[in-house]
Amino acid sequence: MDFSLSDNQLMYVDTVRKLVKNEITPHILEMEKSHKFPWSVIGKAWEMGIINLCIPESIKGFEVDVISSAMIIEEISYGDTGISTSAMCNDLANIVIAQHGTQEQKERFLRPFTERPILASFCLTEPAAGSDNSMMTSFIGKRDDGSYILNGSKCFITNASYASQYTVLCKVGKPTSNFMACVVIPVDKVTAAEIPDIGNDTRHIELPTGGKIIIGKPEDKLGQRLSNTASVTFEDVVIAPDQIIGDRRFGFKYIVDVLDYARPMVAAIGVGLAKRALAVTLDYTRERKQFGSRICDLPVARETITAMWKRVELAELALFKAACKIQEKAEDAGLYASLAKNTAAEAAIFCSTEGLHLHGGYGFTTEYEISKLARDAHIVDIYEGVREVQNMIIGREIV
């Protein structure tokens, strides 16, 4: 096993660090308070080639390997996990097309992402189908002309207010069907020029092919306030057969593939956040003196800082083991993806909570980044499958 980075990986890390250092870190508290959608950072990330990582080279994408993708996401997350969630969501929505789409579908649905900085949404969760997505009721019904009609509502969908394309998981034939399909709905392309900031508005999309999509008001979230999250309702949306990815009955299998890829990326988000929490805590406790000594030199505080460092390092090891397993398509990749996700979520929550504590009263104010990191950390333990679901997967696999 080799822990050294390739020239390409070093180049990626260096590129993202420059973006974070110049465009995110100096302004992060101000950006977060203003709650404006970070199009400018997304645009720069697109120009630098550090988003849309899964798009195949055959259609002028970067087709970045899983390990390098995890490094890129971790580095963006060191800057802000709302921005990395938004960026990562493009791959969440597009990987199923890259893995299971035909060459025509890849050309039609993926090429636009190589041409301008646009966003995609992955629509799985529903109000009554969260951890248990088999309970979803959105469905496509077949019409006499061979096309389908999609109806249903999704919730907590990242990028929904700004998305130029929706990847949707839905039942086939009826809401209680055992089969699930994956359909792709491209809409008018949205960049910063079309919707600079949605504010508190809803978005209505009339589709030229028939039906409409209604995006609810953005959720007012505890953390990750620079990512956009909203509900998405599909009303009589006409779906042509060539908008269905792969076999229209294999959606459950495709979700597993998507989530096996996505969980290490969420782990990368957690590791990036935990590293940032450790860094700002080290900076603070090296400066602040109490009892005649720097806080970082007080033995009990030093012990906490050491515990934070250990969590970061162990989470990063779990992340790269999972990324390697997925890269080599190992049979037990899912097991390690779940381990990485849980370990990174624990590290993010532990480091931000303990880091806030080591800032004392100052950590409880919005003047210090640690308070934002503590708010942002909780979602890492929830999205892409809550902690208990990861433990269910781990338990099932090892028993």
| Chain contacts with ligand FAD (rule: CB under 6 A) | 89, 122-125, 130-131, 156-158, 221, 224, 229, 379, 382-386, 388-389, 392
147/202 with CB nearer ligand FAD: 202
Query: Kindly report the CA angle at 341 between 71 and 222, in degrees rounded to 5?
Result: 95
Work out how close the CB of 28 gets to ligand FAD at its nearest, in angstroms, rounded to a whole number.
Answer: 18
Q: How far apart are CA 320 and CA 326, in angstroms?
A: 10
Structure tokens belonging to residue 218: 């953005």
Work out how close the CB of 125 gets to ligand FAD at its nearest, in angstroms, rounded to a whole number.
Answer: 3
DSSP annotation of 244: B
308/389 with CB nearer ligand FAD: 389
13/386 with CB nearer ligand FAD: 386
Q: How far apart are the first and last CA of the chain?
A: 27
86/281 with CB nearer ligand FAD: 86
Work out how close the CB of 223 gets to ligand FAD at its nearest, in angstroms, rounded to a whole number.
Answer: 8
67/255 with CB nearer ligand FAD: 255
Q: Does the annotation mark 397 as catalytic? A: no
Cβ neighbors of 14 (< 8 A, separation 6 or more) are none
* Nearest in space to 391 (alpha carbons), one of 348, 346, 325: 346
Structure tokens belonging to residue 359: 């800032």
Q: How far apart are CA 65 and CA 349, in angstroms?
A: 28
Could you tell me if 85 and 269 are in contact, meaning their C-beta atoms sit under 8 angstroms apart? yes
16/157 with CB nearer ligand FAD: 157
Work out how close the CB of 157 gets to ligand FAD at its nearest, in angstroms, rounded to a whole number.
Answer: 5
Helix H or strand E segment including 384: none
Work out how close the CB of 385 gets to ligand FAD at its nearest, in angstroms, rounded to a whole number.
Answer: 6
| Residue 57 CA: distances (Å) to CA of 10, 54, 107, 110, 111 | 20, 9, 11, 11, 10
Classify strands 180-186 and 163-172 as parallel, antiparallel or unpaired.
antiparallel
Work out how close the CB of 390 gets to ligand FAD at its nearest, in angstroms, rounded to a whole number.
Answer: 10
- Residue number of the CB closest to ligand FAD reads 130
Could you tell me if 296 and 281 are in contact, meaning their C-beta atoms sit under 8 angstroms apart? no
Q: How far apart are CA 100 and CA 110, in angstroms?
A: 12
The one catalytic residue in 23, 74, 384, 388 is 384
Structure tokens belonging to residue 15: 């590129």
* Nearest in space to 183 (alpha carbons), one of 109, 116, 103: 109
Structure tokens belonging to residue 251: 């959606």
98/308 with CB nearer ligand FAD: 98
Q: How far apart are CA 351 and CA 357, in angstroms?
A: 10
Cβ neighbors of 18 (< 8 A, separation 6 or more) are none
Structure tokens belonging to residue 391: 């433990």
Q: How far apart are CA 115 and CA 313, in angstroms?
A: 37
Work out how close the CB of 262 gets to ligand FAD at its nearest, in angstroms, rounded to a whole number.
Answer: 10
Which residues are annotated as catalytic?
A: 384
